[in-house]
Amino acid sequence: MSGESQTDVGAAKARPRAARRKIALASVLAAAAVVCAGGFIHARGQHVYANDARIASDVVALASEAAGRVVELKVRPGDAVRAGQVLVRLEPRDAEFALQEIEANIAALEAQKAQLRAQQAAINSRVGRAVEVSNAGVLQAEAGLAAAQADLKLARSAFGRTQTLYSKGLLARSRLEEDQARLTAAEKAVDRARAAVDAARGDVYVTASGRDDADVLNEQIAALDAQRAGLLAKRAQQSLDLSRREIVAAFDGVIDQTFVDAGEFVTPGPDPDVP
């Protein structure tokens, strides 16, 4: 630090502490310029901040938290500002377009989910009706089996009596053969009825398996939900980025220096060191 600069610093320390804080505006981009006069090194280029080592007051650098082009610099050195006052505005259109694109993607996913849900409802409805019909078929087949088994029971009883009477010579052989044929037919009827029940129950199983298509749709919907969750996170981040298009004063103070102009591009990063 030069002798002249040291004198200035000493003089500053002798003064009363400034009542207002000095505000330094900063948007961070790694470009630096050396200021030889006075022996100071200031980060410059695409930065907005202030530094005055000759004044015994707090100097705070404000950094941009978003990347963008400066469209409006609303303060000049020496301006008094209030907490919450907008100091710099960044171009919002790119951030707005990005947010709109995310919103459109979310809407498209919601529409796709609604379509899958409709398909799923149609499948469940169709399969449900078909299963009801198949279940009715099972009940009918089971009723047929019960009737066949009842007929078989009667045929066996009748054949047993006929055998007894025939063995005593009380009935002709033709009656024995007739009852035996009736028994055989009843046994075959039961076999057919059992087969019909098995077929009806199998039909219910096959019909109900149509719900597998709805399960596949469930997996697709779950995948869409995962994509939607990711988009919601992006939307939240993009909304935050859009809200950072304005750099505001965090407290009352006075603008010391600015090192950015309208049209310059700034990027986010840590606050520059202010000696």
Question: In this predicted model, what pLDDT tens digit does every residue of 112-165 receive, in sequence order?
Answer: 999 999 999 999 999 999 999 999 999 999 999 999 999 999 999 999 999 999
Cα Rg of the chain, angstroms: 45
Determine, yes or no, domain membership for 230.
yes
> Is the CA virtual torsion 2, 4, 10, 13 positive or negative?
negative
Determine, yes or no, domain membership for 274.
no
Asked if 44 and 20 sit in the same domain, the reply is yes
Asked if 114 and 229 sit in the same domain, the reply is yes
SS3 at position 244: coil
Task: Please give the pLDDT value at position 57.
Answer: 56
Task: Please give the pLDDT value at position 65.
Answer: 83
Which one, of 55, 73, 59, lies nearest residue 253 by Cα? 59
Asked if 121 and 75 sit in the same domain, the reply is no
Domain extent at residue 11 = 3-91+247-266
Asked if 12 and 35 sit in the same domain, the reply is yes
SS3 at position 219: helix
- Whether residue 81 contacts residue 23, with contact meaning beta carbons closer than 8 Å, is answered with yes
Asked if 228 and 139 sit in the same domain, the reply is yes
Q: For 30-99, give the DSSP string.
A: S-EEEETGGGEEEE-SS------TTS-S-EEEEE-SS-EEEEEE---TT-EE-TT-EEEEE--HHHHHHH
Asked if 195 and 254 sit in the same domain, the reply is no
Asked if 119 and 219 sit in the same domain, the reply is yes
- Residues 216-257 have pLDDT tens digits of 999 999 999 999 999 999 999 999 989 888 888 888 989 888
* pLDDT class of 270 with cuts at 50, 70, 90: low
Determine, yes or no, domain membership for 70.
yes
Asked if 63 and 104 sit in the same domain, the reply is no
Determine, yes or no, domain membership for 273.
no
pLDDT above 60 for 207: yes
Q: What is the CATH number of the domain that holds 261?
A: 2.40.50.100
Determine, yes or no, domain membership for 275.
no
Runs of H (alpha helix) within 168-210: 173-208
Q: What is the CATH number of the domain that holds 119?
A: 1.10.287
Query: In the chain, pLDDT over 70 holds for what percent of residues?
Result: 76
- Burial grade of 145 (CB within 10 A; 0-12, 13-18, 19 or more): buried
pTM: 0.58
Determine, yes or no, domain membership for 272.
no
**253-255 and 80-81: which strand pairing?**
antiparallel
Number of domains in the chain: 2
Asked if 102 and 151 sit in the same domain, the reply is yes
Task: Please give the pLDDT value at position 62.
Answer: 74
Asked if 108 and 217 sit in the same domain, the reply is yes
Region 89-105 average pLDDT: 93
Phi, psi (deg, nearest 5) at residue 68: 170, 175
Determine, yes or no, domain membership for 169.
yes
Asked if 120 and 213 sit in the same domain, the reply is yes
Asked if 169 and 46 sit in the same domain, the reply is no
Determine, yes or no, domain membership for 271.
no
